[in-house]
Structure 1
Amino acid sequence: MAFRITGLSPEPFQSLFGLPEQDLESLGMKRYIVGSNPGFPDRIEMEDAQLGRSVLLLNHVCQPANTPYRASHAIFIRKWATQAYDAVDQVPQSMQIRLLSLRAFTDAGMMLDAEVAEGIAIEPVIAQMFSNPEVSYIHVHNAKQGCYSGRIDRA
């Protein structure tokens, strides 16, 4: 079964990089200069930021449904990330190199299934989850740090 993985739209985050540290802190955000790679996976272009680049760590509502599964978690956004990742039947490198938690949801935002898998082995898990016609989309989180990683839809 074909699947599509998408990153976040860059628009809501573009103005944040111009804010001073004090303003970021008041918003619950933190700026980092990347000192290791991998380690700072950008959620827009779905790639780990390169050494010396600026990223923001912030809280993102990844599951806005008004259900018990409403959720938010930390994400990294890379300065100058301008094009949201959007690919069919391709798992981005930033996911391939991590242990991931996949969570399958209905249209109404109720969780139906969940699995943990190495990033290089998630395609069969995606196919198995989407074999259930009630599954509308899948959220991916990094299993170790728990950060939201991306969304998978049927293609």
Structure 2
Amino acid sequence: MTSFRLSGLDPAPFAPLFALSDDALAQQHILRMRADSHPGYPCRVSLEDAFEGDVLLLLPFEHLPEASPYRSSGPIFVRQDAPRRVLAPGEVPPYVTRRTISLRVYDDAHQMIAADVVDGPSVGDALRHAFVDPHAAYIHLHNAKRGCFSCRADRIA
């Protein structure tokens, strides 16, 4: 049976940004914030919601940089010093299951071939079902309410 794996973003490109002043960040359209609730600030590196008091950056991120009509970017949160999380096959964290999620299925040419909106607890089943299609190369998860990129699911055997 085909399964999937969710992985957080590599923290390396974001780490130097935390050393910049708020003015320097603003010039790059980045906002430094402190989480004032939990959940509510989903970190795209750790695939978990920040805890109250955690320092985060809210920044634009190109999550689909490939040459495609679907090339896309949007806002993401990244927690300071967050370790990159790579989940076990088939694992869907609370970061995802507590939200309504939009699934966008892409082929090897980065063309969207399917899409769905599911309640968080159903995401694992929806991902497994989407990967039944042999043309499904990867799937982007987006938080449906705000439309922000959440994470990427890759097919694993």
Deviations 1:44-100 (A, max 9, x none): 010000001100000111011211100001100000102333331100110010000
CA distance in 1, matches of 2:86, 2:125: 21
Aligned partner of residue 86 in structure 1, secondary structure: coil
CA distance in 2, matches of 1:152, 1:83: 15
CA distance in 2, matches of 1:34, 1:127: 33
Q: How many residues are matched? A: 155
The residue aligned with 2:92 is 91
Aligned partner of residue 15 in structure 1, secondary structure: helix
The answer (yes or no) to whether the contact 1:97–1:119 under 8 Å persists in 2 is: yes
Aligned partner of residue 42 in structure 2, secondary structure: coil
The residue aligned with 2:141 is 140
AA at the equivalent of 1:58: L
CA distance in 1, matches of 2:111, 2:84: 29
AA at the equivalent of 1:29: I
AA at the equivalent of 2:78: I
Runs of 4+ that moved beyond 2 A: 82-87
The residue aligned with 1:48 is 49
AA at the equivalent of 2:25: L
The residue aligned with 2:112 is 111
Structure 2 unmatched runs, 5+: none
CA distance in 2, matches of 1:124, 1:4: 13
AA at the equivalent of 1:86: L
Q: CA deviation at 1:124?
A: 1.8
CA distance in 2, matches of 1:120, 1:114: 17
- What percent of counterpart residues are identical? 39
Q: How does 1:32-47 map to 2 (within 5 A)?
A: 32-47=33-48
1:5 lines up with 2:6 in the alignment:
yes
CA distance in 1, matches of 2:137, 2:92: 18
1:25 lines up with 2:26 in the alignment:
yes
The residue aligned with 2:102 is 101
The residue aligned with 2:68 is 67
Deviations 1:117-144 (A, max 9, x none): 0111112211221111011000000000
Aligned partner of residue 89 in structure 1, secondary structure: coil
Aligned partner of residue 108 in structure 2, secondary structure: coil
Structure 1 unmatched runs, 5+: none
CA distance in 2, matches of 1:8, 1:87: 15
AA at the equivalent of 2:117: V
CA distance in 2, matches of 1:123, 1:47: 16
